Structure 1
């Protein structure tokens, strides 16, 4: 189920993009990412439409879909993964922090790091308790000394 949803989102983003916007965004954001030139509204709409066509995603399907979207270094795909996670943050578990850490390592640009931290990682951390919270605090504490993850740690 997640592969068809990822393909639908990708096709929609490509169709919604324009070369002019792609060039402008690549120049403004950079980070070695590719850009389709789709607007933020188009990204949100693509995710919403895919979820309508593929309702009732389980935790594993949702995280697999986010990983599929993130797997290509395309800004709009990665933004779509963040939008998906934002809408399903209540489904995330403490052990998903490992996947989110990898996303942060691969993000390359603040325009992906900032919403991922603010709208996904922070709400996840706030929900955790007990042993999960203790483990998560250790992980985030480690981020502060990692040059790639330092910004993420500072935003928390």
Structure 2
């Protein structure tokens, strides 16, 4: 394990709380382990790690994120997301492959949503030209994937940009149409699953802040 990875893991274990760990296990199930560190402790640990290890390159940041994610401990995986949030300006179009792997393994809104909204969304918004086209193609593919969490990520990724007055509304509608057209047997937009929740979240945010934007086909609605 890298020095930065050891620092993060050791610190999170020192922040452990058995009652928080039990609460997380009750909320999220036994599919992974829990230290019981608070969200604030996770964020503070990543901040301290970046102060100790300044000037991390793109490759070092992405390698550390994978190192933290590899062990199925909730707080380690949340730390990986916080790390990527903190260094999103270093990420490139090719990092969407890594993000896809994380989303496929996350299976929890508390990991998928910040990864999509605060990492994938800003990453894509910062691209232009051919890299942006490639990224849009990737998110379109996610929208039609059998994995409901990838579909959720594709829909909720532009939330920040759309709320702020930017974002690609047409791309969101295109992906929402792809999700809504999936058969119920695939967990598509009509069954109230995680992807439908993401669609509703975006539509409600847009209705409140940008009422000029309207869905353009039946089946896309909160």
In 2, Cα distance between equivalents of 1:52 and 1:87: 12
Query: In the alignment, which residue of structure 1 is the partner of 2:86?
Result: 87
More helix as a share of residues = 1
Larger Rg: 2
User: Is the aligned partner of 1:64 residue 2:60?
Assistant: no
Query: In the alignment, which residue of structure 1 is the partner of 2:156?
Result: 155
CA-CA distance at 1:30 after TM superposition: 2.5
Q: Tell which deviates more after alignment, 62-71 or 29-38.
A: 29-38
Is there any run of 5+ residues in structure 1 with no aligned partner, and where? none
Query: In the alignment, which residue of structure 1 is the partner of 2:52?
Result: 53
**Structure 2 SS opposite 1:128:** coil
In 1, Cα distance between equivalents of 2:51 and 2:29: 32
Q: Judge conservation of contact 1:29–1:111 (CA < 8 Å) in 2.
A: no
Q: Judge conservation of contact 1:33–1:75 (CA < 8 Å) in 2.
A: yes
**Structure 1 SS opposite 2:104:** helix
Alignment of 1:101-140 (within 5 A): 101-140=100-139
In 1, Cα distance between equivalents of 2:77 and 2:111: 8
What TM-score, normalized by structure 1, do the two folds share? 0.95
CA-CA distance at 1:17 after TM superposition: 1.0
Is there any run of 5+ residues in structure 2 with no aligned partner, and where? 158-222
CA-CA distance at 1:70 after TM superposition: 0.6
In 1, Cα distance between equivalents of 2:75 and 2:145: 26
Q: List, as ranges, runs of 4+ consecutive aligned residues in structure 1 with deviation greater than 4 Å.
A: none
User: Is the aligned partner of 1:76 residue 2:75?
Assistant: yes
In 2, Cα distance between equivalents of 1:45 and 1:120: 18
- Structure of greater relative contact order (alpha carbons < 8 Å, 6+ residues apart): 1
